[in-house]
Amino acid sequence: MKPLPFVVFALAAIVSATAEECAITQGFNPVYSPDGARIAFQRLEGGVFKIGVVELPERWRLASGCGDGAPAVASAPLSVEWIEAGPGNAAYPAWTPDCALIYTYGHDTETAHEAWKNGSQSGYGLRICEPDGTKRDLTRGRCRDYAPCVSPDGQTVFFVTTRGVESESASFSKAAATRLARLDLDWAKASHRGTEARSSGHDGQVLDLNHAEAQRRREAGSFAATEGARVDVEIVLDAPHGSNSGYVQPAVSPDGRFLVWGQLDDFFEGWRIYGARLQDVATTPSSSQSEMSRQFAPCRLTPASLTALSPRWHPNGRMICFTGFRAGDPGWGVWVFDLPSGKIRRICSGENPCFSPDGATIAYDCGGMIRIRPFGPGDEPDATLPDIREEDAPEAIAWDCKIEGTEKHLDISGESHFAIGDDTTMFIRATLNPGTQKDTRQFLRLSYAEHPRAIQLYASGGDLWFVSFDHAGKFFAAKSPLPRDGREAAVIAVRTPTRLILSVNGAAPSVVHTGGAIPLDTPQDLTAGDGVLSLEIGTGWPHELPKPQPLEVPQ
């Protein structure tokens, strides 16, 4: 296969770190090519993001090359081949199985206000550079499409996007909700080739759709790149909890069966790594987001005590590496996690790790340099941190509180089954008459010695709120819309040691995560408002909601 015809620059020096690692070039976010012979990476120069590729010397492609005690300085400096020689930002490189590169590219020539006023399509989209150097835009729009990854069969690109969110923006620094999306790569390439043929009479002008058609395609997850062409971007996961939440850096397992990604559930929470079977992520064009979410239950893989993002798979398909930080660490570190056993380990300082195709080395960035180190038996996870997986809740056991239409205060002091410990999942099953008013209306309050308003269920502004507190006494809540016509609402609310889950009339559950809900051992009083038509409270997992499933990977 011919090398990519990039513009070539020489790196002035190669920095040696230790006998156990090699520093190869300045930059960050490294990723090995499928044959392990090259590394693509990002670098920030003069305020512009650039993507470069370095050819690795033969001795550095295996673990023995870095760990044999020989000097880690090459006889000649490594050459960096730049993907984009012109203006614009290029970032987040990802290889396809046939050694093409997909990355985020954008060249803003307007301010954000000018782009909004002019309806500009200039943003950050996905671009592909084929092995022969041919470049094509896969996506375009006044938004951000970034952090792509390619499925092992080369047919699908998963990526993060701001398409269709209220805070949609083309700025990398904009704190906006993000969605997880995918694109059929073969379809996108074919669409682009057809567009080139059809658009020759239009001077390559980018034309916007009329408002109604644009809105329809936004709702369907589609957009137009040029007149006569449409690339279908399928949204597979919406922003989890509004504008202060989102996703980053998805990764598909080597066997194509699982997807992992970084997820931020709330601005005040840290990043966690989630995973799911791709068959659970799969939807059809006719599936609504609510139908998909109802069937889709991602598994949180990393514990609440560990900030974790940027996952990538080991070629054995049972282990991931990622960027992580835990209180007391000297800084960001490279972590590895064995999914079947739940064992986890920090192996060195650094960020954005990536395994080589043979699993013998791991590349990462640290101190502004791309580094390579061996990965062997001494680096494999050897300990289990608490709270790696969601609790395995027992089957539900409920107590009927016999509330029928009038406000009641029930003395539950001494009722041990109302105690909710650190490892207890409890649920509320209720039928409510919310009425049509939008003022605050209390439906349920559970009081404990540990907190007088430990668990609440109330309506405010047309929404139902399910409220509790964490170990530090911090308020957190899940909310779901109530029927606007005053119809009765069938409510399922679940409180686990790490989450609040709320579903109204069978809609997709609203889920909010916390580092740990406050344990409640001394029950005192239960207050049910006059809008509560029926009520059950119990421990375990209610049958109406799908129980979170662990991510099963090969042993």
Burial 374-387 (b: 16+ CB within 10 A, else e): bbeeebebeeebeb
Residue 255 domain-assigned (yes or no): no
- Residue-wise pLDDT tens digits, 529-542: 888 888 888 888 88
- Mean pLDDT, rounded, for 403-420: 74
Domain harbouring 434, CATH code = 2.60.120.200
Q: pLDDT at position 250, please?
A: 95
Q: pLDDT at position 271, please?
A: 87
**Residue that wins the pLDDT comparison between 288 and 86:** 86
Q: pLDDT at position 541, please?
A: 86
- Mean pLDDT, rounded, for 64-93: 68
Residue 92 domain-assigned (yes or no): no
The answer to whether residues 547 and 541 touch, using CB atoms and an 8 Å cutoff, is: yes
Of 59, 504, 507, nearest to 295 (Cα)? 507
The answer to whether residues 83 and 8 touch, using CB atoms and an 8 Å cutoff, is: no
Residue 285 domain-assigned (yes or no): no
Q: pLDDT at position 198, please?
A: 34
- Mean pLDDT, rounded, for 149-165: 91
The answer to whether residues 313 and 254 touch, using CB atoms and an 8 Å cutoff, is: yes
Whether 169 has a pLDDT exceeding 70, the answer reads no
Over the chain, what is the mean pLDDT?
A: 76
Confidence of residue 156 (pLDDT cuts 50, 70, 90): very high
Rg (CA), the chain: 26
Q: What is the pTM assigned to this prediction?
A: 0.68
Whether 200 has a pLDDT exceeding 70, the answer reads no
Count CA within 13 A, CB hemisphere, residue 405.
0
Residue 458 domain-assigned (yes or no): yes
- Residue-wise pLDDT tens digits, 432-489: 888 766 678 889 999 998 888 889 999 988 889 999 988 777 888 888 888 877 788 9
In three-state secondary structure terms, 545 is coil
Q: pLDDT at position 555, please?
A: 55
Domain count, the chain: 1
Q: pLDDT at position 312, please?
A: 98
Domain hosting 523: range is 397-539
Q: pLDDT at position 371, please?
A: 93
**Which region among 112-126, 323-337, 487-501, 518-532 has the lowest average model confidence (pLDDT)?**
112-126
CB atoms near residue 157 (< 10 Å): 26
- Mean pLDDT, rounded, for 250-266: 90
Long-range contacts of 262-268 (CB under 8 A, 24+ apart): 262/308, 262/309, 262/310, 262/311, 262/322, 263/298, 264/240, 265/240, 265/241, 265/511, 265/512, 265/513, 266/241, 266/476, 266/512, 266/513, 267/175
Residue 103 domain-assigned (yes or no): no
- Mean pLDDT, rounded, for 42-55: 92
Residue 82 domain-assigned (yes or no): no
pLDDT above 90 covers a percentage of the chain that reads 32
Residue 404 domain-assigned (yes or no): yes
Question: 124: which strand partners?
Answer: 144
Residue 136 domain-assigned (yes or no): no
